Amino acid sequence: MTINFNNALGIHPQALALREKRSEILAANLANADTPEYKARDLDFKAVLSQTMGPEARLQSTREGHISSPQTLLGADLLYRNPQQASLDGNTVEAHIEQAKYAENAVQYLLLLSSFFPLFH
Do residues 77 and 71 lie in contact, with contact meaning Cβ atoms separated by under 8 Å?
yes
Please report whether residue 27 resides in a domain: yes
**Residue 4: inside a domain, yes or no?**
no
Quick one: residue 90, left, alpha or beta (phi over 0 = left, psi -120 to 50 = alpha)?
left
pLDDT in tens, 44-101: 877 766 666 555 444 456 666 555 544 555 667 788 888 898 789 999 999 999 999 9
Whole-structure pTM value: 0.68
* Angle made by CA atoms 31, 39, 80, in degrees to the nearest 5: 115
pLDDT at 15: 80
For the chain, what is the domain count? 1
| 1 in a structural domain | no
Q: CB–CB of 75/51 below 8 Å?
A: yes
CA distance linking residue 41 with residue 76, whole number of Å: 12
Q: Which residue segment(s) compose the domain that 101 sits in?
A: 11-120
Whether residue 6 is contained in a domain is answered as no
Task: Answer whether residue 94 is part of any domain.
Answer: yes
For residue 53, the model assigns a pLDDT of: 58
Return the pLDDT at 113: 81
- Residue 58 domain-assigned (yes or no): yes
